[in-house]
């Protein structure tokens, strides 16, 4: 499945599954390619990276504070923040190499930019089908306006901030000229508690903005992304790893290959189950009338007997007179003898 914004607006398609490699490649290009190939085999529709550099996300103070040490849930390393960023950041050439590999495997490629140069690289040179905005930039109005000016759809995660800031973010993207936006519900806790996931927010976004909505997941396991399918999401984004026990940034909260395949299979199957907002009796159900009940004789009766409600019982198969017509039989005179449990026919009266 390729990214198609108009299909997302129209609905009725399976959710587009983004395998978020992020920095889980750990700066290793062979690992990155293995992850891409595996995600494709699992059924993912898109590979997403993160186009950060040493200078475009973290300030000098971040590096001095070395803020992530002791962040046990991410199983990061004992190295400094600065050294990890340098090791995990992708070069311009590596972006092109991984994009070419995705093209070879026929899977979409995109990334999250963190500055204008990154946006230009992704849109003008790598020709990504859409830009993915991280939650950390929901309040970065000038950056959002610039992204909105680039002429490609924008998919934005909305963790970390309240509804007012999400409204302002959408307005900033629109002010840049973009009217093809997908709003992803996201909780930027790694992982959130069950009661913090709040999948109902997906419906609220759809009603508030009128844009296609999706879900960017940071929970452990597969329950939340699978449940989001029932919210008619157009996109499911999930971090991906080959091994949750690897050293690095986000392996613990990522889907391993087995989990990614479960999510992709559920996306393929689950959307078909959503159906429509009208009661449909399928042809195969019509053919199973024996599963219903018919009106039967509660006991033996002779011709000339006048039926009362006590004379009627209701049993399978449902191939004769439906119980919904029972009042029409009361007071009728039998034309023939009938035995207990025998199905009444309209010609019996």
Task: Determine the pLDDT at residue 234.
Answer: 98
Peptide bond into 117 cis (omega under 30): no
Of 251, 274, 297, which marks where a domain is finished?
274
pLDDT of the chain along its 349 residues, tens only? 999 999 999 998 999 999 999 999 999 999 999 999 999 999 999 999 999 987 788 777 876 777 655 444 344 556 677 777 888 999 999 999 999 999 999 999 999 999 999 999 999 999 999 999 999 999 999 999 999 999 999 999 999 999 999 999 999 999 999 999 999 999 999 999 999 999 999 999 999 999 999 999 999 999 999 999 999 999 999 999 999 999 887 899 999 999 999 999 999 999 999 988 899 988 888 777 789 999 999 999 999 999 999 999 999 999 999 999 999 999 999 999 999 999 999 999 9
Q: Are residues 264 and 315 in the same domain?
A: no
In CATH, what number is assigned to the domain containing residue 66?
3.20.20.70
List pLDDT tens digits, range 154-201.
999 999 999 999 999 999 999 999 999 999 999 999 999 999 999 999
Q: Are residues 329 and 215 in the same domain?
A: no
| Contact (CB, 8 A) for 309 and 330 | yes
Q: Are residues 257 and 297 in the same domain?
A: no
Q: Are residues 158 and 259 in the same domain?
A: yes
Q: Are residues 178 and 263 in the same domain?
A: yes
Q: Which domain holds residue 310?
A: 283-348
Q: Are residues 198 and 293 in the same domain?
A: no
Record the pTM.
0.89
CA distance 137 to 243: 29
Question: Interior CA angle at 199 toward 194 and 200, to 5°?
Answer: 125
Task: Determine the pLDDT at residue 73.
Answer: 39
In CATH, what number is assigned to the domain containing residue 301?
3.90.1210.10
List pLDDT tens digits, range 33-63.
999 999 999 999 999 999 998 778 877 787 6
Q: Are residues 162 and 183 in the same domain?
A: yes
Q: Residue 314 corresponds to which tokens in the numbers above? A: 């209701």
Q: Are residues 102 and 44 in the same domain?
A: yes
Q: Are residues 269 and 321 in the same domain?
A: no
Question: Whose structure tokens read 């960023």?
Answer: 85
Q: Are residues 192 and 299 in the same domain?
A: no
Q: Which of 277, 227, 209, 233 has its CA nearest to residue 45?
A: 233
Of 246, 274, 302, which marks where a domain is finished?
274
Of 248, 274, 300, which marks where a domain is finished?
274
Count of domains forming the chain: 2
| Sequence-ordered list of residues with C-beta below 8 angstroms from that of 180, at least 6 positions apart, any chain | 5, 152, 153, 154
Task: Determine the pLDDT at residue 84.
Answer: 79
Q: Are residues 139 and 245 in the same domain?
A: yes
Describe the chain by its helix, strand, coil percentages, rounded to 5: 40, 15, 40
Q: Are residues 316 and 231 in the same domain?
A: no
């Amino acid at each position: 499945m390729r990214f198609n914004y108009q299909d997302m607006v129209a609905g009725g398609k399976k959710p587009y599954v983004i395998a978020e490699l992020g920095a889980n490649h750990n700066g290793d290009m062979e690992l990155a390619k293995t992850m891409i190939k595996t995600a494709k085999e699992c059924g993912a529709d898109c590979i997403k990276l993160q186009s950060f550099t040493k200078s475009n996300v973290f300030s000098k103070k971040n590096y001095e504070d070395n803020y992530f040490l002791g962040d046990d849930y991410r199983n990061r390393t004992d190295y400094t923040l600065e050294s990890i960023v340098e090791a995990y950041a992708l070069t311009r050439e590596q972006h092109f190499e991984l994009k070419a590999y995705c093209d070879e495997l026929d899977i979409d490629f995109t990334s999250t930019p963190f500055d204008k140069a990154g946006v230009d690289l992704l849109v003008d040179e790598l020709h990504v089908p859409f830009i993915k905005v991280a939650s950390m930039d929901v309040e970065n109005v000038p950056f959002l306006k610039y992204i909105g000016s680039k002429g490609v759809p924008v998919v934005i995660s909305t963790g970390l901030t309240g509804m007012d800031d999400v409204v302002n973010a959408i307005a900033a993207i629109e002010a840049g000229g973009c009217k093809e936006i997908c709003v992803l519900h996201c909780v930027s806790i790694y992982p959130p508690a069950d009661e913090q996931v709040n999948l109902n927010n997906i419906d609220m976004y759809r009603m508030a903005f009128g844009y296609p909505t999706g879900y960017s997941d940071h929970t452990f396991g597969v329950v939340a992304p699978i449940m989001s399918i029932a919210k008619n999401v157009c996109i499911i984004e999930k971090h991906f790893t080959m091994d949750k026990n690897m050293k690095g940034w986000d392996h613990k909260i990522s889907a391993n290959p087995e989990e990614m395949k479960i999510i992709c299979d559920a996306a393929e199957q689950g959307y078909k189950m959503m159906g429509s907002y009208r009661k449909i009796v399928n042809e195969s159900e019509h053919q199973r009338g024996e599963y219903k009940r018919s009106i039967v004789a509660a006991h033996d009766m002779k011709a000339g007997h006048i039926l009362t409600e006590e004379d009627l019982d209701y049993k399978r198969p449902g191939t004769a007179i439906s119980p919904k017509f029972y009042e029409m039989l009361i007071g009728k005179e039998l034309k023939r003898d009938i035995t207990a449990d025998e199905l009444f026919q309209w010609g019996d009266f």
